[in-house]
Amino acid sequence: MKITVINGPNLQLLGIRKPEVYGSETLDGVRRRLESVAKELKIKISFLQSNSEGEIVDAICSSIKNGVDGIVINPAAYTHTSIAIHDALESVGIPAIEVHISNIHRREKFRRKSVTAPACIGQICGLGTDGYEWALRAMAGYLKKQN
């Protein structure tokens, strides 16, 4: 089983940018934790962070040829604007779970609408960086049930 974890713009600043909102864990710390969880679950993961919408779309679309079974995605600011990411997620037919570190539904009005979530099987938000782990575990469980 192979799951790809995709992170959108500014997440390379995790641990520095607004720690009162996003916490103090770095994206590298999240990656290391997920690699440990992946070993425990006996699955493979890949990890990408990009500030480029096109690169994120390319990563989603190449998931088919790369044999990806599931996607965990934090589209970050693209959550609220990217029809292209929505369409890519919908087009590949690979189950995806959307993750947000903060609870987007309790934030500014413009952050409360996700245009990407309707292309996903679920959304986890407001649990800090732990949400990544829960999304990875949920995706692994979902995929096992599908097989």
Active-site residue identified among 22, 78, 86, 132: 22
22 has catalytic annotation: yes
CA separation for the pair 17, 129 (Å, rounded): 14
Active-site residue identified among 78, 86, 100, 132: 100
Burial 68-101 (b: 16+ CB within 10 A, else e): bbbbbbbbbebbbebebbbbbbeebebbbbbbbb
100 has catalytic annotation: yes
Q: Which residue has the tokens 């720690």?
A: 19
Catalytic residues: 22, 100
